[in-house]
């Protein structure tokens, strides 16, 4: 894609720009954007890269009646492409959002802070968020290698990303277009450790899965401790609000109220289900997630019920099912000043 192949040096020479949507087929000039509603400073950006995580997701911030997250993919590549880009997308928090048949059309700006001129630049985009569609497309801001050598956007191994909600139209019987009121910018700082992660594993053996196997039921594991914090695995055996005919799995922080005010833990989560026939696991791993409240992170569709109950898979033997959670606490998050 030509729009993703122009360097910062070429921008400065006036030959075009590399900031814009990865889907673009034309060159896009870097656009000055508003001071964002949400500023997200990532400390130790090199440490984020060293984790190998495909993405990192901020804690929530509230705007226009909804809770939003900003997600950065530091090494994003389109299929078949060689150049890695730093890309951003918007995530609407499921638990406080939409009912079946409702949708929200949001117009927003995704940006990165230029320390040299004190301005944000990036791109304007829009997305229709629906009951089962909570994440916007990824938008490329800058080639990763250009960012790493830049003194404009990366200072002391830290960079600042921004999200500004410009307009929200809610389509439902109850809601109409929302006028976005400008308010004080929320600032969140993400700290990623270089080493010394706090890691732990918990295995949850469920001996009565078939007794739980009914619509909208919810089961939770016993509480376990990793890194001085309490956690549990939550499961919808037949799918939850956002999926059906499947097992939904999530990790939750228990007693999250014990965290210091306006702070969170940065965690990478792997959830697995055991193939009891051969001792192997079917696994899924998140990017980095900020746990700061009672909401869980995980997969609405982890494995289909047909696959789960297939005897050749070994996931369900009799009424026994074995779930494993692996956690790595790689950093922390705080609200505050840039």
**What is the full DSSP assignment across 100-150?**
TT-EEEEEEEEEEEETTTTEEEEEEEEEEEETTB-BPPPEEEEEHHHHHH-
163 and 203 co-located in one domain: no
CA distance 251 to 266: 13
Per the structure block, which two tokens stand in for 169?
Answer: 């139209």
Tell me what percent of the residues of the chain surpass a pLDDT of 70.
Answer: 80
Give the structural domain span for 109: 2-190
Three-class secondary structure assignment of 140-171: EEEEHHHHHHCCCCCECCEEEEEEEEEEEEEE
pLDDT for 2: 29
Domain end (from 160, 190, 220):
190
Go through the chain and tell me how many residues it has. 338
Nearest to 168 by CA among 122, 110, 108, 124: 108
240 and 259 co-located in one domain: yes
Per the structure block, which two tokens stand in for 136?
Answer: 């916007």
Helix (H, G, I), strand (E, B) or coil at 25: coil
152 and 235 co-located in one domain: no
pLDDT for 244: 82
Domain end (from 190, 222, 246):
190
User: Tens digits of per-residue pLDDT, 250-297?
Assistant: 999 986 556 666 678 899 999 999 999 999 999 999 999 998 877 788
pLDDT for 10: 32
249 and 230 co-located in one domain: yes
pLDDT for 81: 83
- Residue owning tokens 């990478």: 268
165 and 38 co-located in one domain: yes
CA distance 165 to 60: 13
Per the structure block, which two tokens stand in for 108?
Answer: 């927003």
- pTM score, two decimals? 0.81
CA distance 201 to 264: 20
150 and 218 co-located in one domain: no
Q: Are 92 and 67 in contact (CB under 8 A)?
A: yes
244 and 294 co-located in one domain: yes
The residues of the chain scoring below 70 in pLDDT are 1-30, 94-100, 172-184, 213-216, 255-262, 336-338
Helix (H, G, I), strand (E, B) or coil at 269: strand
59 and 124 co-located in one domain: yes
pLDDT for 1: 34
Q: What is the count of structural domains for the chain?
A: 2
pLDDT for 3: 32
Domain end (from 139, 166, 190):
190
User: HSE of 303 in the Cβ direction (CA atoms, 13 Å)?
Assistant: 23
User: Tens digits of per-residue pLDDT, 207-243?
Assistant: 999 988 666 689 999 999 998 889 999 999 998 777 8
Per the structure block, which two tokens stand in for 302?
Answer: 């982890």
**CATH assignment at residue 240:** 2.60.210.10
User: HSE of 234 in the Cβ direction (CA atoms, 13 Å)?
Assistant: 18
147 and 235 co-located in one domain: no
Helix (H, G, I), strand (E, B) or coil at 181: coil
202 and 137 co-located in one domain: no
261 and 123 co-located in one domain: no
225 and 283 co-located in one domain: yes
First and final C-alpha spacing in the chain: 34
């Amino acid at each position: 894609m030509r729009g993703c192949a122009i360097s910062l040096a070429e921008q400065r020479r006036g030959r075009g720009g590399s900031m814009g949507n990865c889907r673009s087929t034309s060159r896009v000039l870097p656009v000055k954007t508003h001071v964002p509603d949400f500023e997200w400073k990532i400390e130790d950006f090199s440490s984020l890269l060293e984790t190998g995580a495909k993405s990192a997701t901020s804690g929530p911030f509230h705007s226009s009646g909804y809770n939003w997250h900003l997600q950065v993919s530091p090494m994003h590549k389109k299929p078949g492409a060689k150049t890695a880009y730093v890309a951003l997308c918007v995530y609407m928090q499921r638990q406080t959002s939409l009912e079946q048949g409702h949708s929200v059309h949001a117009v927003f700006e995704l940006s990165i802070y230029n320390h040299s001129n004190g301005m944000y630049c990036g791109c304007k985009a829009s997305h229709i968020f629906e009951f089962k569609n909570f994440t916007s497309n990824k938008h490329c801001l800058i080639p990763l290698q250009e960012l790493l050598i830049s003194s404009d956007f990366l200072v002391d191994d830290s960079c600042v990303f921004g999200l500004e909600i410009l307009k929200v139209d809610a389509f439902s019987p109850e809601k109409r277009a929302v006028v976005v009121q400008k308010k004080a910018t929320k600032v969140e700082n993400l700290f990623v450790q270089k080493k010394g992660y706090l890691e732990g594993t918990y295995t949850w053996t469920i001996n009565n899965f078939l007794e739980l196997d009914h619509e909208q039921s919810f089961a939770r594991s016993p509480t376990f401790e990793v890194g001085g914090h309490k956690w549990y695995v939550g499961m919808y055996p037949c799918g939850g609000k956002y999926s059906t005919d499947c097992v939904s799995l999530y990790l939750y922080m228990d007693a999250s109220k014990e965290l210091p005010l306006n702070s969170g833990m940065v965690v990478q989560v792997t959830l697995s289900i055991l193939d009891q026939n051969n001792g192997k696991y079917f696994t899924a791993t998140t990017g980095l997630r900020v746990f700061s409240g009672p909401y869980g992170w995980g997969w609405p569709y982890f494995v289909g019920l047909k696959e789960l109950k297939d005897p050749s898979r070994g996931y369900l033997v009799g009424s026994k099912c074995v779930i494993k959670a692996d956690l790595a606490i790689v950093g922390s998050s705080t609200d505050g000043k840039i």
